[in-house]
Structure 1
């Protein structure tokens, strides 16, 4: 039995005496915020909270955003009845009253205020099982310190009886006893004398890129706008008469268009919008940029007809009327701009665009993708002048930071809210109480909430609004049934603070500007990534009244939950591995924004990911059409990979080949032979993933010189030129793959011995059958597309390693990449197999009650990021051949592959190589499923390098 004290001794020795010593998760560690690796102090705090039994923070400064980033972890701890303490101060009057109010709303934290002058500590203590971990350094509990600033922090681990931890605990307890308890009365008293420091005022100033500051006498373009303006000018110089700008909501599209008008200097401008309430704001923004007389600016709407203005701002509903159009010459406007141009598929827009003949037409949208068949890209001659999406806009600090909370929706009788939940339960008194508790807990930036709440049904929204009013939360309800005037009145009331919330269903997704919104609440199933981002975007416009936006998404038992990480990350590949990663490791969000899921909500997302068919024909066709519209032609696999719009594996494998998919939708260029389709099918299955680049490079070079014979030395030189791993075993394995001799069983039968190459007297040439198909240009095009795409995808794999850690592999692929001469049937491999000095282990961690193929209930388990408890097959004893191999590990490379459950399919994460801990190898008996007993050998396996912590957390999380 390995003692924790022994592990801690090794960790200290590795850190402070000899770095070559085997380490563990307990190693002392320096923590520095690193944007490139996406590793932050915030992650470490969250991980410690996820596993602790109690905690104690001693921090001088706290901000609402820093506290917000930990609220889901604190909520999960509350469910487990785990509590903590925070000791803070009023040093320099940095801590705002609002952050103390937030602290008071967290039920499992006790807070005290130090009376010490100059209290400036930054320490985080966690009681874990059998030990304590603590972090000391420079980071306060502010989002900047946890994610952005250059900070130095050290994480240390101590056995419970260590002197240092005893000293820290004694000191903290002493300070705690001398400090003052945080109470509502204390906060009220603090408010009375609180004056923010100059430093804090400057720190919280909202940088709005000079776009809405009315006191700025001269407004200049921001970084994004300068690039877009240069691109637009270049477009016009090339003779283009149209341009499309794709820009996230809140990034200053209207100002951009005004700057472009300024540089073009047209005689007359038409600005077309789809909602009347946008007109006055657009007109005002233009006046700030262009200046001039008031009479130069006019409105064309149902109420105003100022058609003689130089700069005319019109609603599409009015300008599209025949009698209105007839009042203008066709060339009246030199420059026409269409706002929210993704709506331009409507007949009203067609009438306007067909009528006018401007010198330049500019379209602006945050979401050009449409599902109704209309091609926005074609409308603008595929001229994309500039594109900036949510992630980039956050990186450029163009949007208000947000904190997204994936919150578990209300449970009734042990069941979560779902699509089928009856309305009466959606508006049930207990659910409303639960909603209000969560809204209070996650809070907002500012004096009071100014929130939009998106519901699934009109009656739900209307009823909830009424109940909120009864409970002292002033709110209103709006839908498409309300007039423009009614909507504007309610928005004005929200901005003035007369109401806290507007409940809505089918409006406010777009085309409305409410900068003061500081809370966005989602009480509905996510139906599309586009709508999700549109609703999120309602709060992202910067405003001096808020430092961040709180987004609270109530996640129930919805089949579309998988869309949430897809929307937040911007990843449209439909790759389940990516979605899982983005759920358990939400570091894809840039800047001081954050994404956090409560534990149960996270499990709901994983369940949805596992159940959904990512390759449904309707979704694949939708992705195909979107990319086809963007490119103006039939896309190929490499286009999907380059544009990052869809994982090409999904669309290629749907009908066995991409040729089969194109044939199904009647988009193929020509008809190929059965032989050709089998070659494409083999290449799709074996090469498209790009796991090993050698096959791709060799086959592509052979295709470029059909009649050449390749010696083994030629092949070796080729691989060396490409900086690829090379050995006699690798070359033999590559050739066995290309001549199909590696494959056995059902795969050999499916591949029909259609070898790509043949070997004759140590020379390699293309097979006659393959060369024959090379006479068809369309076959060559599709084959090269597979190889080019495979090479692009190979960038995800380390070229100098046989296998890449944390990538997923099927058993077949593992054997091929480890240079096995022939494939083994999966059932014959089972949990492990050995050959040529390689011992490969495949583990399913969450086996469930009906785990197929198991004689007994195996209890394989990841104990920590460095250790796995593992069992051999049964019956086995200490004298079994494979056990003897494990007892002499120096002769073997032992590799572990694991998946969470069978719900993840047949692929396993490669976790790395291990060594058995000799003293833990024991023989024991375990009950079998037929009621008997069989011998089995149990042992601990030690990883040579710790497993990625986020992957470990995911694999060890509860059942999905």
Structure 2
């Protein structure tokens, strides 16, 4: 690679190709990408993945400049790990090209996004800093990259995500209407955590399937029946366990549950820069995004773990999960999910050899008395949605937001909430601006309300205030998508089309 630090003010392309050709690991983050720039990089990227290099891309939706066709071209190249950063109106301007191999590394940071003009003809300033010049800069840069890459704002790029962005790009509007899943909670409240009847039946079924010689199984349990605790009870039968998930919050919550089941377990995290695994670790809670990188997988022998648990197993069809599954050969693989059937048709059952050891869906759980029956109130909405332009399955984001940021609309929401609420509420919104507007309205009405989004800096502290009762209602957008465990929530308020 480049032996000394230098500044490139034109023709960055030649340096990029040279660095890609020598790298075992490639990390590229850009505020936007154009097809012209992607097409220039594709030959070098193809060579990199064919020789087994780890190649990570993080592309932003900044001002909708990113060309959907650029993303489509990247998706065609098998072996790339690509995520799409959803800025939600927040400034997102990074441009960095990071490379590393066994001997050395290189950081290129400056002004060039992914386009032909930025690589060849434009006036661009980019600083080239070899690892030998400043040994810690590259490591710090890659860790910063992974923090963005693993953030809640970053989505795995797939055809569904691409098509959604394509519609937004064509209309030049940002649309944010997340799918929402709710928390699971353990139903036992004694100091000693013991499995309840459904978990006992599931444990019996898992042990029977192992006795039959099977090495993989899927367990389908409705949200609220305690999938994480079930996996912890099952993990007692094994010496060394890997718990795999795609979000830090899921991993931290799972670690707390496992420690309640077995306080003597030595646990550790393996996500981003937080990697503390050693020989004494009984249960490792790992991020699929981190562990799917070659340099991390290679640290573990194929049979290092006796039990591999994959949370939210409906995500396991993704390439990152497939890479981890292909590497490890545990005694047993346990998949956990409440929703095994995917919208994109991917077959997650096949990943567990079509072996569903146990399942109980939410209707059965309610009938059995394990989940609480819910009351659903449909309130007349004063917004005339027939006047809003539709973009596929969603409404035009700007028109929807303009209709929602209205005093009559917010007062109608407040009146319905006042009539039907219990003690603690989560309100789901279409946009950050709507969440902030409603929280302000509710505060003016004398209630403790906050807006909590992916951009909230002190999110953990605010959630604690909510759990402790200091805050009555949280308005959120693009958050609380999966694995949220706030048992004291008893009211859900949908302030968006759903």
TM-score for the superposition, normalised by structure 2: 0.57
In the alignment, does 2:367 pair up with 1:428? no
1:211/1:252 contact within 8 Å kept = no
Q: How many Å apart are 1:271 and its aligned residue?
A: 0.7
1:244/1:380 contact within 8 Å kept = yes
Q: Output the CA distance in 2 between the equivalents of 1:414 and 1:363.
A: 43
Counterpart position of 1:315:
287
Counterpart position of 2:418:
440
Q: How does 1:792-803 map to 2 (within 5 A)?
A: none
Counterpart position of 1:60:
none
1:457/1:505 contact within 8 Å kept = yes
SS of corresponding position for 1:472: coil
- Tell me: CA distance 1:518–1:413, structure 2 relative to 1, closer, same or farther (3 Å): closer
> How many residues of Structure 1 are paired with residues of Structure 2 in the alignment?
306
Counterpart position of 1:260:
234
2:310/2:336 contact within 8 Å kept = yes
Counterpart position of 1:324:
296
1:474/1:498 contact within 8 Å kept = yes
Q: How many Å apart are 1:379 and its aligned residue?
A: 0.7
SS of corresponding position for 2:314: helix
2:195/2:230 contact within 8 Å kept = yes
Q: Output the CA distance in 2 between the equivalents of 1:385 and 1:327.
A: 31
Deviations 1:114-171 (A, max 9, x none): xxxxxxxxxxxxxxxxxxxxxxxxxxxxxxxxxxxxxxxxxxxxxxxxxxxxxxxxxx
Deviations 1:593-644 (A, max 9, x none): xxxxxxxxxxxxxxxxxxxxxxxxxxxxxxxxxxxxxxxxxxxxxxxxxxxx
Counterpart position of 2:441:
467
Counterpart position of 2:209:
235
1:336/1:358 contact within 8 Å kept = yes
The higher radius of gyration belongs to: 1
- Tell me: CA distance 1:361–1:470, structure 2 relative to 1, closer, same or farther (3 Å): same
SS of corresponding position for 1:397: coil
Deviations 1:818-851 (A, max 9, x none): xxxxxxxxxxxxxxxxxxxxxxxxxxxxxxxxxx
- Tell me: CA distance 1:511–1:413, structure 2 relative to 1, closer, same or farther (3 Å): closer
Q: Output the CA distance in 1 between the equivalents of 2:336 and 2:407.
A: 44
Q: How many Å apart are 1:385 and its aligned residue?
A: 0.9
- Tell me: CA distance 1:278–1:334, structure 2 relative to 1, closer, same or farther (3 Å): same
Q: How many Å apart are 1:252 and its aligned residue?
A: 0.9
- Tell me: CA distance 1:407–1:359, structure 2 relative to 1, closer, same or farther (3 Å): same
Q: How many Å apart are 1:291 and its aligned residue?
A: 4.2
Counterpart position of 1:282:
254
Larger RCO, structures 1/2 (Cα 8 Å, 6+ apart)? 2
- Tell me: CA distance 1:245–1:334, structure 2 relative to 1, closer, same or farther (3 Å): same
Counterpart position of 1:393:
365
2:219 to 245, 251, 273: 245
Counterpart position of 1:491:
463
1:275/1:511 contact within 8 Å kept = no
- Tell me: CA distance 1:324–1:522, structure 2 relative to 1, closer, same or farther (3 Å): same
RMSD: 2.7
1:411/1:417 contact within 8 Å kept = no
1:297/1:311 contact within 8 Å kept = yes
In the alignment, does 2:265 pair up with 1:302? no
Q: How many Å apart are 1:337 and its aligned residue?
A: 0.1
2:435/2:476 contact within 8 Å kept = yes
1:277/1:488 contact within 8 Å kept = no
Q: How many Å apart are 1:404 and its aligned residue?
A: 1.6
Deviations 1:404-433 (A, max 9, x none): 212222267999999576433312111111
Counterpart position of 2:490:
518
Q: Output the CA distance in 2 between the equivalents of 1:212 and 1:301.
A: 30
SS of corresponding position for 1:405: coil
- Tell me: CA distance 1:417–1:503, structure 2 relative to 1, closer, same or farther (3 Å): farther
Q: How many Å apart are 1:361 and its aligned residue?
A: 0.3
1:226 to 183, 200, 203: 200
Q: Output the CA distance in 1 between the equivalents of 2:414 and 2:460.
A: 26
TM-score for the superposition, normalised by structure 1: 0.30
Q: How many Å apart are 1:395 and its aligned residue?
A: 1.9
- Tell me: CA distance 1:411–1:512, structure 2 relative to 1, closer, same or farther (3 Å): closer
Q: How does 1:310-709 map to 2 (within 5 A)?
A: 310-410=282-382, 419=395, 422-444=400-422, 449-480=423-454, 482=455, 486-526=458-498
Unpaired stretches in structure 2, ≥5 consecutive residues = 1-184
Q: How many Å apart are 1:377 and its aligned residue?
A: 0.6
Q: Output the CA distance in 1 between the equivalents of 2:462 and 2:475.
A: 11
Q: How many Å apart are 1:261 and its aligned residue?
A: 1.9
Q: How many Å apart are 1:486 and its aligned residue?
A: 3.4
2:271/2:287 contact within 8 Å kept = yes
Deviations 1:762-785 (A, max 9, x none): xxxxxxxxxxxxxxxxxxxxxxxx
Q: How many Å apart are 1:521 and its aligned residue?
A: 0.7
Q: Output the CA distance in 1 between the equivalents of 2:210 and 2:277.
A: 27
Unpaired stretches in structure 1, ≥5 consecutive residues = 1-207, 527-960
2:187/2:225 contact within 8 Å kept = no
Q: Output the CA distance in 2 between the equivalents of 1:301 and 1:413.
A: 43
Q: How many Å apart are 1:322 and its aligned residue?
A: 2.1
Q: Output the CA distance in 1 between the equivalents of 2:432 and 2:271.
A: 29
